Amino acid sequence: MELRNLITFIHVAELGSFTKAAEQLGYSQSTISFQIKQLEDELKCLLFERINHTITLTERGRELVSYAHQVRALTDEFKENLEYEELRGHIHIVTPDSVCDDMINKNYIDFHTIYPDISVKFTTADTSAMFDMLDHNEADLVITLDSHSYNKDYVIAKEQHISMHFVANPKSKFAGIKNLSIRDIISEPFILTEYGQGYRKVFDKELAKKSLEITPVLEIGRTDIITSLITKGNMISFLPDFVTEKMVREGKLCYLDICDMNIDIWKQLIYHKNKWLSKALKTYIDYITEKEFN
């Protein structure tokens, strides 16, 4: 059995298209079709149903996906052990903006100093895009900042409950007042992270349960900009404590005591169950779980 045919099969199965697989692999579409036909002839079964220019995995095709991933993983593992004596590799991690900023500022230099031959690529995205990237093997790891997520196709390497607070300028008229209601501040100018993403999405759902809605004066993914603007004006935001706690200690921000909004947010480090964990990736996971989840 040709390994390249199995690799082609994985790409076609994940992308649901011969054309997209050809583009990603740098082959012609006829080559992709030929390789899949070779595999079907060798296995003596149909792997894809082809109807009206659409393709769908057959039952046998779905069974082969898992085996194909295992074969590729074992092959890659063998190649790495054969080719690399030192710890090296490339890691692609996808996170929300706030987590990305925090990880780079706190830990990247330390990680690079310890593991100079492991390169890291950071991409920011919302939760749904993260899982789509995992499904298409476009990311090695993701860190979500959302409601608790579980799916049998993913492995949760580490998770942590995240504290959230409404934050304002220490000179705010609401500073120091106990047992405020969300209705007390609902008409104030808000700066929020982008609509429909991560904890902002969960926040909006909780507001909707109370038949409330906030139209922010500014929406932006950069939490450093949000906190900077709040220190200079009378706006309010809703942010994770790891973003704000230092500025609160320094007296640049204050937490508002909102007593009727119970919002459950989790930070989760996740990879696909079929992802082969190289030495570099295992090392990075161990480092992140120690430094980012404590």
DSSP 8-state secondary structure symbol assigned to residue 197: S
Q: Rounded to the nearest 5°, which phi and psi values hold at 280? A: -65, -45
Cβ(96)–Cβ(281) below 8 Å: no
Task: Parse the chain into domains and list their residue ranges.
Answer: 3-83, 89-156+266-292, 164-264
User: What are the strands, taking DSSP E only, across the chain?
Assistant: 48-51, 54-57, 89-95, 118-124, 141-146, 154-162, 164-168, 191-192, 218-219, 236-240, 254-256, 265-272
Is 1.10.1060.10 the CATH classification of the domain at 3-83?
A: no
DSSP per-residue codes, 107-139? IIHHHHHH-TTEEEEEEE--HHHHHHHHHTTS-
What digits encode the pLDDT tens for the residues 157-170? 999 999 999 999 99
What digits encode the pLDDT tens for the residues 110-146? 999 999 999 999 999 989 999 999 998 899 999 999 9
End-to-end C-alpha distance for the chain, whole angstroms: 46
CATH class of the domain defined by 164-264: alpha beta
Q: Which fold has domain 89-156+266-292?
A: D-Maltodextrin-Binding Protein; domain 2 (3.40.190)
Angle at 209 between CA 203 and CA 212, to 5 degrees: 75
Query: Position 74: which residue type?
Result: L
Query: Do the domains spanning 3-83 and 89-156+266-292 agree at the CATH topology level?
Result: no
Q: What mean pLDDT do residues 65-73 have?
A: 84
pLDDT higher than threshold 60 for residue 98? yes
pLDDT at 97: 85
Angle at 57 between CA 157 and CA 28, to 5 degrees: 95
pLDDT higher than threshold 70 for residue 82? no
Write down the mean pLDDT value for the chain: 90
pLDDT at 225: 94
pTM across the whole model: 0.68
Q: What mean pLDDT do residues 252-273 have?
A: 94
pLDDT higher than threshold 60 for residue 204? yes
pLDDT at 80: 66
Cα 220 from Cα 201, distance rounded (Å)? 14
